[in-house]
């Protein structure tokens, strides 16, 4: 009978289509049968009603439903059922029992899930009004048909029993739908519970992994700090420093040591980026400089050191990372400093020119280390005055983003260092406090590393 779901019926409407299509076929056949029954009883008004109105309406509803016009089809069929009961009670009277189909129609309003609350309320109010009107005004037949008591009883029983069966089928449908919904909800809750357990397990594993990773990072950070030199508090050369990475592991590192009894080496490196990769590279560079393990390198010659570093730590071989460096060798006997920088900010040397304070910027215009192979590096020299103070630092100490969005520049930093007068706090602590105030934050975006050397 054509209950296969057509292509133009949406998947979500397929079940509604099948049920209503069966109902329209059943409605058409049953009304033809009723028309024949009324013809046998010579009730011509109901014969015409069934053959001229009811059967064509259900046929039209069947066609519309197949074309995906489910709302129009349902409305036509519903209207026919309502009009049929009104016509039957009007023609044959209250005793025929057709009014009980209105009770079935009240339940049918909830079958169409697309009818929202307002439509259902209006339809039920209409059904109640029709039922009341039939009870008040159609107790007796409108036509002078002479039907036996047995025929009336047959009509009454068939109407009542059909209504009961239809209501039972609707209730069964609703119970099945509710049961399926409850089962679906239960299954969904079970799946959700399983998912929650899986998520909790995953979160626990993730937290454990984070804990292990954090412990390893802390251990790595401790190792980096351990290889940094201790400040020198006595002797002809004294040092102090501040090393505050922006993350657990930063890309900055520095060192100083005596090359021999006369020459003192000091250096500071700044690897591009942050995190584990930058820290590993900076540690590797530090160890190479501390152990003097670069082949064919004169560690008293800054230019030679930078050239060897550039060959040993090419960016092509180290994850495209490069680094800047300031490297100096100080001779205690001659008070001469030989130095070279590769892409690094100029170091600041504070001294006196006669009785006047004087600040020198120490740098050489060399390329960054690891950025390009076979680069020639130049060095320079200067004399360190008695009581001179040298500051070597990474760009993180001055490239601080201020609250207005601008960046604290090198010149502003150099002016601040010139004017800063240490009292209870050293210049290093004053500088760090000032940088945090500028950024309006306890944590800076870049590593804060600065080495102070007093001669």
Domain boundary among 144, 166, 192: 192
Q: Residues with Cβ < 8 Å from 244, sequence gap 6 or more?
A: 432, 444, 447, 448, 449
**Number of domains composing the chain:** 2
What percentage of the chain reaches a pLDDT higher than 90? Answer: 49
Of the ranges 157-171, 275-289, 403-417, which one carries the lowest mean pLDDT score?
Answer: 157-171
Residues 265 and 159 reside in one and the same domain = no
CA distance 246 to 325: 19
Shared-domain flag, residues 172 and 237: no
- The answer as to whether 252 is a domain residue is yes
Residue 144 has phi, psi (to 5 degrees) of -90, 60
Residue 178 shares a structural domain with residue 250: no
Residues 68 and 137 in one domain: yes
Segment 421-450 shows an average pLDDT of 88
CATH number at residue 446: 3.60.40.10
Q: Is the pLDDT of residue 220 over 80?
A: no
Find out whether 137 and 172 touch, Cβ atoms under 8 Å: no
Task: Count the alpha carbons within 13 Å of 295 in the hemisphere toward its beta carbon.
Answer: 3
Strand partners, 263: 331
pLDDT band at 445 (very low <50, low <70, confident <90, very high): confident
Question: Is 279 within the bounds of a domain?
Answer: yes
Phi, psi of 428 (to 5 degrees): -65, -45
pLDDT at 307: 95
Q: What is the pLDDT, as a whole number, of residue 1?
A: 46
Highest mean predicted confidence (pLDDT) among 89-93, 160-164, 325-329, 405-409 = 325-329
Exposure of 251 in the CB half-sphere (CA atoms within 13 A): 19
One domain, residues 178 and 238: no
120 is a domain residue: yes
Q: What is the reported pLDDT for 111?
A: 80
Picking from 366, 353, 348, the residue whose alpha carbon sits closest to that of residue 413 is 348
Is 97 part of any domain?
yes
Domain boundary, last residue among 165, 192, 219 = 192
Say if residue 150 is in the same domain as residue 290: no
Cα–Cα distance, 64 to 8 (Å, whole number): 12
> Is 289 a member of any domain?
yes
Q: Are residues 35 and 111 in the same domain?
A: yes
Q: Is residue 221 part of a domain?
A: no
**How many CB atoms within 10 Å of residue 35?**
20
- Residue 3: predicted pLDDT: 60
- 37-53 pLDDT, tens digit each: 889 888 899 999 999 99
| Residues 354 and 405 occupy one common structural domain | yes
Type and span of the H or E element at 320: none
The answer to whether position 38 is within a domain reads: yes
The rounded mean pLDDT for the chain is 88
Residues 421-441 have a mean pLDDT of 87
Q: Which residue has the higher pLDDT, 14 or 334?
A: 334
Per-residue pLDDT reduced to its tens digit, 136-174: 998 888 777 667 788 888 888 888 888 888 888 878 877
- The larger pLDDT score, comparing residue 214 to residue 261, is at 261
Query: How would you classify residue 78: left for phi > 0, otherwise alpha for psi between -120 and 50, otherwise beta?
Result: alpha
Q: Is residue 227 part of a domain?
A: no
Task: Look at residues 141, 162, 192 and tell me which one is the last residue of a structural domain.
Answer: 192
pLDDT in tens, 235-279: 999 999 999 988 767 789 999 999 999 999 999 999 987 778 888
Residue 315: other Cβ atoms inside 10 A: 19
pLDDT value of residue 249: 74
Shared domain for 52 and 146, answered yes or no, is yes
Domain range for 369 is 232-454
Phi, psi of 348 (to 5 degrees): -110, 125
Which of 452, 421, 331 has the alpha carbon at shortest distance from 384? 331
The rounded distance, in Å, linking the Cα atoms of 256 and 289 is 9
Do 21 and 125 lie in one domain? The reply is yes
Task: Choose the weakest-confidence range: 294-303, 352-361, 382-391, 398-407.
Answer: 352-361
d(CA 65, CA 58): 10
Q: Identify whether residues 316 and 444 lie together within a single domain.
A: yes
Is the domain of 160 the same as that of 254? no
Output the pLDDT for position 251. 84
Q: What is the mean pLDDT of residues 409-438?
A: 88
235 dihedral zone (left: phi>0; alpha: psi -120 to 50; beta): left
Query: For tokens 């995906």, what's the residue?
Result: 68
């Amino acid at each position: 009978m054509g209950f296969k779901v057509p292509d133009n019926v949406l998947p979500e409407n397929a079940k509604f289509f099948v049920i209503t299509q069966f109902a329209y076929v059943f409605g058409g056949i049953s009304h033809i049968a009723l028309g024949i029954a009324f013809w046998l009883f010579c009730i011509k008004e109901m014969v015409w009603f069934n053959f001229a109105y009811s059967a064509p309406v259900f046929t039209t509803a069947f066609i519309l439903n197949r074309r995906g016009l489910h709302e129009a089809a349902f409305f036509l069929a519903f209207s026919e059922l309502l009009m049929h009961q009104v016509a039957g009670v009007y023609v044959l009277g209250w005793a025929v029992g057709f009014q009980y189909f209105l009770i079935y129609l009240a339940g049918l309003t909830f079958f169409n899930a697309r009818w929202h609350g307002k439509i259902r309320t209006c339809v039920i109010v209409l059904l109640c009004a029709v039922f009341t009107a039939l009870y008040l005004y159609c107790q007796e037949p409108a036509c002078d048909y002479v039907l036996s008591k047995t025929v009336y009883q047959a009509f009454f029983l068939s109407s009542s029993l059909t209504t009961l069966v239809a209501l039972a089928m609707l209730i069964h449908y609703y119970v099945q739908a509710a049961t399926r919904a409850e089962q679906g909800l239960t299954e969904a809750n079970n799946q959700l519970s399983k998912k929650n357990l899986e998520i909790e397990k995953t979160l626990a594993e993730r937290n454990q992994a984070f804990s292990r990773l954090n412990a390893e990072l802390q251990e790595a950070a401790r190792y980096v700090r351990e290889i940094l030199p201790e400040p020198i508090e006595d002797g002809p050369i004294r040092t102090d420093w501040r090393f505050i990475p922006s993350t657990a592991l930063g890309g900055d590192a520095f060192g100083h040591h005596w090359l021999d009894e006369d020459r003192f080496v000091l250096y500071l490196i700044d690897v591009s980026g942050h995190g584990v990769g930058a820290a590993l590279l900076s540690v590797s560079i530090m160890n190479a400089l501390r152990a003097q393990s670069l082949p064919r390198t004169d560690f008293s010659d800054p230019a030679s050191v930078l050239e060897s570093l550039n060959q040993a730590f090419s960016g092509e071989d180290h994850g495209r990372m490069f680094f800047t460096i300031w490297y100096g060798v100080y001779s205690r006997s001659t008070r001469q400093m030989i130095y070279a920088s590769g892409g690094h900010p100029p170091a600041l040397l504070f001294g006196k020119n006669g009785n006047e304070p004087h600040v020198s910027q120490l740098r050489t215009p060399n390329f960054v280390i690891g950025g390009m192979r076979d680069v020639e590096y130049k060095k320079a020299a200067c004399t360190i005055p008695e009581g001179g103070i040298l500051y070597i630092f990474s760009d993180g100490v001055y490239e601080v983003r201020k609250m207005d969005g601008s960046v604290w520049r090198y010149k502003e930093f150099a002016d601040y260092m010139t004017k800063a007068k240490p009292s209870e706090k050293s210049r290093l602590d004053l500088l760090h406090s000032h940088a945090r105030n500028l950024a309006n934050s306890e944590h800076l975006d870049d590593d804060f590393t600065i080495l102070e050397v007093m001669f």
